[in-house]
Amino acid sequence: MEEVQALVRRALAEDVGSGDVTTAATVDEDARARALITQKAAGVLYGLAPAAAAFALLDEQAVTEPLAEEGVWREQAGPVMAVHGRARALLTAERTALNFLAHLSGVATMAARAVRAVEGTGTKVLDTRKTTPGLRALEKAAVRAGGADNHRAGLYDAILIKENHIAAAGGVARAIARARAHAPELAATLEVEVRDAEEIEQALAAGASRLLLDNMDEQRLRAAVAQVAGRAQLEASGGVTLQTLRACAQTGIEWVSMGALTHSAPALDVSMTLELCS
């Protein structure tokens, strides 16, 4: 929660700067109000915590009331959260609260759509490190809220050898050997990016247990599945969209990773209305 508050505090500082001139000019200092946040499109909500934090950081006496559950697909528009507090604080925090809620709900909604697309195939949808700087933990939590799975959190918790690592190390086998020697505690889940049948064989010969099939179309994915024949687990990545996702999943791979879950998720439409309290 401290990390969320720090993020929201920075977002407020960016927006408010030296002060909310419009609100100060138009709203009485002692006015109190009730704000209602509403979801206006179908999707999955996530981000109530940072939204509530935005109001609380400007009015520590503000009372927030969740009116909807996170991580659940809602087909119809409806209320999300009510907030009671100082009118000036509610108005000044409005945009920051809605920015977090709309973006994170958009990520959760995209994840939910992706999970629906692969339903029945046995394939799991993963996110990537293509996240908004500073928001990775929240975006990955939103992915989980939408029902998809997280890939590695960062560069520190898993080994993923990509083409530039292979080039720098002097080949697939040498890259794998060096990675295992450097971080043996992560060797069991070591993954190697491969681009063709030759690299697949090199990685398998070196003992890789997980292969990342880079930018392969459906035909090449099926060929890779047949070539590997269960000797390693397979992940497809690169250019996957909601439209192509199911075809990828039906090739027999274990995972499909989608950077679009975080870097291209449209914001969910949410809005806030305010009523002064008598």
Q: Catalytic pick from 95, 144, 178, 246?
A: 95
Q: Catalytic pick from 15, 214, 217, 254?
A: 214
Are 8 and 100 in contact by the 8 Å Cβ rule? The answer is yes
For the question of residue 95 being annotated catalytic, the response is: yes
Instruction: Give 226: exposed, middle or buried? Use CB within 10 Å, 0-12, 13-18, 19+.
Output: exposed
Name the nearest CA neighbour of 239 among 215, 212, 264, 265. Answer: 215
Q: Catalytic pick from 20, 139, 193, 199?
A: 193
Strands (E), 101-178: 124-126, 160-161
For the question of residue 162 being annotated catalytic, the response is: yes
Residue type, 39: Q
- Please identify which residue in the block is written with the tokens 């909601």: 242
Pair of tokens at residue 36: 């209602």
Q: Catalytic pick from 3, 162, 174, 198?
A: 162
What is the greatest pairwise CA distance in the chain?
A: 75
Residue type, 32: R
For the question of residue 214 being annotated catalytic, the response is: yes
For the question of residue 40 being annotated catalytic, the response is: no
Q: Catalytic pick from 34, 130, 144, 231?
A: 130
Active site residues: 95, 130, 162, 193, 214
